[in-house]
Amino acid sequence: MELTAEMSNPMMTMMIKSVAAEVASLLRAELARLGGSDVQPMLLDVKQAAVYLGRSEQAIQHMIFQKDLPVVRVGRRVHLHRTDLDAFIERNKE
């Protein structure tokens, strides 16, 4: 194997290894952070449900008022169960 000027310079080799270690550390941290994002909440608020169904928040509120979508109430907060949203999608397929 032929040695390049960079590989024969111990200072350059040390810098390359240091940068590689830092990049590896940053990648590990980012992968660990992203790894936890696979968990999806079962209860969604109106805004999240609107994104999930591709509708506006007002449309979701109207569907709740019309009893097209069941809700889970926790105090004054309104949540929609993900499986109920999936069932709504299935019921409305043509």
Predicted confidence at residue 25, as pLDDT, reads: 87
**Cβ atoms within 10 Å, residue 67:** 8
Local confidence pLDDT in tens for the 94 residues of the chain: 455 555 678 888 888 999 988 988 888 888 777 765 566 789 999 999 999 999 999 999 999 999 999 999 989 999 999 999 999 999 999 8
At 61 the pLDDT is 96
pLDDT at 2: 52
When computed from its CA atoms, the radius of gyration of the chain, rounded to whole angstroms, is 26
| Exposure b/e, 27-61, CB count within 10 A at least 16 = b | eeeeeeeeeeeeeeeebbebebbbebbeeeeeebb
| pLDDT given for residue 86 in this prediction | 95
